[in-house]
Structure formats: structure tokens, C-alpha cells
Amino acid sequence: MAPPAYSGAGPRSEVGVTATEAEKVHTLRQNTGSGTHRVVEMIPPQEASVRRREIEDKLKQEEETLSFIRDSLEKSDQLTKNMVSILSSFESRLMKLENSIIPVHKQTENLQRLQENVEKTLSCLDHVISYYHVASDTEKIIREGPTGRLEEYLGSMAKIQKAVEYFQDNSPDSPELNKVKLLFERGKESLESEFRSLMTRHSKVVSPVLILDLISGEEEVEVQEEVPLEHLPEGVLLDVIRISRWLVEYGRNQDFMNVYYQIRSSQLDRSIRGLKEHFRKSTSASGVPYSPAIPTKRKDTPTKKPIKRPGRDDMLDVETDAYIHCISAFVKLAQSEYQLLMEVIPEHHQKKTFDSLIQDALDGLMLEGDNIVSAARKAIVRHDFSAVLTVFPILRHLKQTKPEFDQVLQGTAASTKNKLPSLITSMETVGAKALEDFADNIKNDPDKEYNMPKDGTVHELTSNAILFLQQLLDFQETAGAMLASQETSSSATSYSSEFSKRLLSTYLCKVLGNLQLNLLSKSKVYEDPALSAIFLHNNYNYILKALEKSELIQLVAVTQKTAECCYREHIEQQIQTYQRSWLKVTDYIAEKNLPVFQPGAKLRDKERQMIKERFKGFNDGLEELCKIQKAWAIPDTEQRDKIRQAQKHIVKETYGAFLHRYGSVPFTKNPEKYIKYQVEQVGDMIDRLFDTSA
């Protein structure tokens, strides 16, 4: 029942009095010490009646509302009592259910636990029983070996390993333990044997042609991706890796690593030896080898297009060039071996195994290098300095290859790393010794009369010295470094290329200076000063031309900028010395030595005799000099023509003036006896000087 709606007029005030009524009631509260006094204004009777009815209506509505609220509360109380009763009943039922279910649940749990325990027990029994059958189940497989069935074999070995572990933990005294142990050891031995067999059967020597292609690959103009060598077929390699890992993890055996390095070491050594032998044969057949020491731009294989080295004869010494090839081959093959080793050998054993693997091949190369050094020392003692030159290309190649060597040998023993630097030091020392002894030999070469050229041409010492210096041009940095390595000054410990170049320039100047002193000494062997001058002229001119045709002159100029001018001055001085040999001819007819007489006057006997003597002296001197000097030689055509023309000009001019003055003078009844040559004939005779074929 809804409460009655409010129906009064105007806004409601407190106690249900309208605003109009309130205006008529004025309450005056006067606060005093004793209380409050209310003054009520009197309302008219009509209005009071209306007012009463309104209040009564209002009261009725309020009573109805109160009655509605009371009924609602009673209903709510009843509903609450009903709900409490339902919940109490539900709780009682739940308690009864719980009391019934919990015992059943506990019994079920116990039954399940018992069942699980039974199943586990049965499983454990089956597992334990299986270990007792491992030996019989795997014995046949182990006996037949892993060849061709490695996966199955390793599976059987895993079962045996687990059986061994079980019996060791649970029944160490059982005979079954000994049985599976013996089977395990037999299986491990078979795996080791299979490892050795696979490595032995499938490890092949790398062919020389493939090695040469591998070496030349560095020098290709176009950079190509390097194809690794296949030392083992892919399937074999996978088997080897699996056996290796099993032996490390389960076999607790490192013997296979020794097997590995011994087999691979032998293949590496045989590959390098095979290359050397192949190179010797191919060199003998073709005559000209390919050398990696010569930077070249090639696109064919090294065996198809041999390269000729400038500055030497047609080819390097075969042994030297073969050694250079083998050095490059060792680096490439060792790099490839390390890549293979990393797949097969455990990481913490790789460096040590690799160190052992490369020892034979490396020791062989180092021993051969020591033999080359020893041979060079013996050549120095024999003064065979051209033989020492074989050290230079080898040393240069070793230095160029050293960074790769060092990279390959990272992690190896210090003794292994020091082998190449030790060889380089030995070669630098013997090379520096050769250079120093060569300079001293040039200075002290004895003046052997029988060894002097009879025609005054270039001495063998000069040609050999210049050839040696020209050959050094191919190895400027190497030779400079040799000289620098022997310097004791602190600056030499970290010498620069400029420092080495200056040392080499100083050395060249020293050799040339020693050669000049020796030539001066040798020239004194000649009794004829003119022949001595021709000899010095020829040698000086040969030296100058050789310097100018090569880079030697630029290298000499680093420390001696006036060297070229000095040689030209020396050459000119010797020409002047030679020309003085003709004075004994031209002095007879020189104007200062001629008699003076009046034209048309009759000659006295003394004057006639003097003219005869002048003609005879000139003729005899001319004939003698032409006969002697015809056998002399000036190999340089330009210089020969220059000297002839200069001498011809002097003699013809002097003789022409003499002949013009006395040719028509009646100094004899037989003029043809004294006037034997005309001016042009004299020129022709001089033109035939220094020409042994004339």
C-alpha cells in the first residue's frame, strides 16, 4: 500500500503549517533568565476550522504511511526467518554429506597410492631386470663392430654404459658388473679402432696442383670466396666427429687425439714433400718455374703459365723456388688443418694437438732453411756471392708470410712460435755477412796480371759487382733490413723503411768506391798509360751506363747526389789521358818544333834532315800506335766513335798543316819515302782503332 500523496496548498513548513498560516503566527521569543515567553496572535474562527481539517487530513495520510511501513517490516521479518531456516537446513545437510564422503575419499586416495606404488615397483623391476639382459642383447652388435652401423652401435654402448652405472651403484659385487664392464671396454676399443681406420683410409695427400691453385688464389685480381679443402668425405667426417665426442664424454680417453695428429701430421708432411717433388719435375720439364714470391696477376693455374723473375737469370735456383712454394703451402695447409681439427678435437685440447700435428712439417721446413743458411755461409767463404743471393728471395717471402705464420701458430708453444723468427734472424745475419764480405772482396780482389784483359775492356770484377748490385734491386727492402738488423744503435731496433733505404744507399756507394779503388790499382798493371786509361775509361763507362739503365742511380743518389757527375768527370779524365798518348806522334809535326826558313830559299842539309826526321817520326809513331791500339777495345759504340773522332780531328788538323807546309818543299829526292800518307788516309787509320775485326 502506497503512502497517501501530499495535497496541501503552498510550501510546507514545520509541523504541517502552511506559509500563509505562518505569516499569521508571530512568535516572539524573549530570552530571559527564567525562560521563554510566547505571544500568539489570535486567528479568526473560520480560518481555524479550515486549518483543523487540513491537519486532520494530513494526520490521516501520515497514519496510512506508517501503517504501510509497519506491514512491510513485518513481511521482511518473515522472509528473513524463512531464509535463516533454509540456510540452517542446508548447513545441516552439508555436514551430513561431508561426514559421509570424507571417509570414502580417504579410502580412494589410499587405494590410488597403493596402485601407483605397485606400478612403480613393477616398472622398477622391469628396469632392473633389463640391465641383466643388456649384455646378451648388445654382445653381438659390439662383437661385429661399428663399421657401417655407427648409430646403432653408439645406442648399444649407451645401454651398456647405463648398465655399468647401475651395477656399480647397486650391486658392485655382482658378476653382471664385470660382464658389462668387459663389454664396454671392448666396445670402446672398437670405436678407437674405427676412428683410426676412418682417419687412415680416408685421409688423402693434397695434390700438388690443388696446393698451387690454393697458393695462387691470394694473387688473383678478383677476390673470390676461398673454397676449403676437403680432407675427409662429409659422411666420414660426421662419423669421426661422433666417435670423437663419445670417446671424450664416455670413453674418458684421449689416445684418439694422438692417433688423429699422427695421421694428419703425416698427410701434411707428405703433401708438402709431394709439392716439392712435383715442382722439381715440372721445373725440369718447363725450365721456368712459377714462384709465389713474385706478385703476379694471374687467372690460370700456376702449372700452366710460368712466370719469369726479372733481375735474375731465366729462373731462380730450383731448390730455392721450391722452398718458397713449400713455405706458402705450409701456411695454407696448416690453416686448413686447424679448421678440420676444430670439428674433431675438443676445444681445450685443440691448440696442443695442433702444435703436435704441425711439428714434423714445420721442423722439415726449418731444417731445410737452416741448410740454405749453411750453404750460404760456405758460399761466402768461397767468395761465391751469387749463390748467397738465394737467401734474399727466401727471406723476403718469409717476412711477407710471417703475419700469416703468426696467426696460424697462435696458441702453440713458445718454441714453435720462435722457429720462424729464429730462421729469419739467421738469414738476415748471413745475408748481412754476405753483403759486408762482398764489399771487402771488391776492395781486396788481388791484381793478378794474367787475369787482366789484354785489350783494356771491362774487368770481370766490374761486371760481377754491377750484376750483384743490380740483383739487389729486386730485394731492396730485404737487403736494407739485413743491414739495419746489424746496426747496434738504439734507433735500429725499430728501423723504418727510409732508414733501411739510406743504409742500402750507403752500402752501394761503399761497394762502388771499393770497386773504383781496386780498378785504379789494377790499371797500374798495364805498362802503357794509354791502355791503362782505356781500361779505366771502359770500366767507369760500364758502371755509369749500368747505373743509369737501372734504379741503382736513384738509390745511390739518396746519399751521394753527385755520383753521376763524378763518373762523367772520371771518364773525361781518362779520355784526356789516352789522348796524350798521341803527343809522341803529333809532337814530331807540331809547329813549335818545325824549322823556320824563307819560302823559295834553298834548304840547308840540316833543315832537310830535320824535315825527314819529322816525317819519319810521324809515320813510325802513327803506324806503331795504330797497330797497338787496333787491338784495344772500347765496347761502347758511342764512346768509341767519340774518341776516334776527337783523336782524328786533332791528328788530321796537325798533320794537314804540316803536310801543307812541307809537302811541296824539296827536302828529298824520294818524297814518297817520307810522305807515305795523305790526310784522309791518316783519318781512315784512326777510324780502325779499337776494332779487332778490321
Range with lowest mean pLDDT among 9-23, 135-149, 200-214, 539-553:
9-23
Q: To 10 degrees, the CA torsion angle through 537, 560, 440, 369?
A: -120
Q: How far is CA 598 from CA 14, 604, 610, 671, in A?
A: 188, 11, 15, 20
| pLDDT at residue 1 in the model | 45
How far out from the chain centre does Cα 374 lie?
A: 29
Identity of residue 286: S
Q: How confident is the model at residue 222 (pLDDT cuts 50, 70, 90)?
A: very low
Does 122 have pLDDT greater than 90?
A: no
| pLDDT at residue 595 in the model | 66
More confidently predicted of 311 and 125: 125
432 contact partners, CB below 8 Å, separation of at least 6: 482, 483, 485, 486
* Nine-digit cell string for 668: 828529298
Nearest to 550 by CA among 560, 564, 566: 564
More confidently predicted of 595 and 364: 364
| pLDDT at residue 18 in the model | 45
Secondary structure of residue 295 in the 3-state scheme: coil
What integer is the mean pLDDT of 152-157? 92
Per-residue pLDDT of 386-397, as tens digits, reads 888 889 999 999
Per-residue pLDDT of 347-381, as tens digits, reads 999 999 999 999 999 999 999 999 999 999 999 99
How high does pLDDT run on average in the chain? 83
Range with lowest mean pLDDT among 250-264, 544-558, 570-584:
250-264
Range with lowest mean pLDDT among 136-150, 310-324, 636-650:
310-324
| pLDDT at residue 487 in the model | 75
Does 285 have pLDDT greater than 80?
A: no
| pLDDT at residue 294 in the model | 39
Does 26 have pLDDT greater than 70?
A: no
Nearest to 647 by CA among 597, 605, 683, 604: 683
How far separated are the first and last CA of the chain, in Å rounded? 166
Does 268 have pLDDT greater than 70?
A: yes
- H-only helix segments in 217-315: 234-246, 255-286
Name the burial class of residue 52, with classes exposed (0-12), middle (13-18) and buried (19+) by CB atoms within 10 angstroms of its CB. exposed
Residues 475, 477, 480, 481, CA torsion sign = negative
Phi-psi region of 383 (alpha: psi -120 to 50; beta: other; left: phi over 0): left
Element (H, E) at 352: helix 347-381
| pLDDT at residue 5 in the model | 45
**Percent of the chain predicted with pLDDT > 90:** 52
Per-residue pLDDT of 478-490, as tens digits, reads 999 999 888 754 4
Spatial distance between the Cα atoms of 580 and 532, rounded to a whole number of angstroms: 12
Per-residue pLDDT of 659-669, as tens digits, reads 888 888 888 88
Does 573 have pLDDT greater than 90?
A: yes
Taking a C-beta distance cutoff of 8 angstroms, is the pair 428, 482 a contact? yes
What integer is the mean pLDDT of 619-623? 93
Range with lowest mean pLDDT among 96-105, 314-323, 453-462:
314-323
Q: How far is CA 153 from CA 138, 186, 487, in A?
A: 9, 12, 67
Spatial distance between the Cα atoms of 375 and 388, rounded to a whole number of angstroms: 8
What integer is the mean pLDDT of 196-208? 93
Residue 12 has phi, psi (to 5 degrees) of: -85, 145
| pLDDT at residue 96 in the model | 82
Q: Return the residue matching grid coordinates 579410502.
A: 107
What integer is the mean pLDDT of 647-662? 90
Does 300 have pLDDT greater than 60?
A: no
Taking a C-beta distance cutoff of 8 angstroms, is the pair 544, 567 a contact? yes
More confidently predicted of 64 and 228: 64
Long-range interactions of 477-481: CB distance < 8 A, separation 24+: 477/396, 478/392, 478/395, 478/396, 478/399, 478/431, 479/392, 479/431, 479/435, 479/504, 479/507, 480/504, 481/399, 481/428
Per-residue pLDDT of 35-60, as tens digits, reads 444 444 566 778 889 989 899 999 99
| pLDDT at residue 468 in the model | 93
Q: For the chain, what is the largest distance between any 2 Cα atoms, rounded to a whole number of angstroms?
A: 214
Spatial distance between the Cα atoms of 217 and 225, rounded to a whole number of angstroms: 10
Taking a C-beta distance cutoff of 8 angstroms, is the pair 357, 253 a contact? no
Nearest to 553 by CA among 499, 512, 497: 512
Q: How confident is the model at residue 16 (pLDDT cuts 50, 70, 90)?
A: very low
* Nine-digit cell string for 437: 764480405
Taking a C-beta distance cutoff of 8 angstroms, is the pair 329, 220 a contact? no
Spatial distance between the Cα atoms of 477 and 279, rounded to a whole number of angstroms: 27
What integer is the mean pLDDT of 434-461? 89
Does 230 have pLDDT greater than 60?
A: yes
Q: How far is CA 522 from CA 446, 448, 532, 535, 568, in A?
A: 8, 8, 9, 9, 20
| pLDDT at residue 689 in the model | 92
Q: How far is CA 568 from CA 42, 509, 541, 545, in A?
A: 162, 16, 8, 10
Long-range interactions of 620-627: CB distance < 8 A, separation 24+: 621/584, 621/585, 621/588, 622/585, 622/651, 622/677, 622/682, 622/685, 625/581, 625/582, 625/585, 626/685, 626/686, 626/688, 626/689
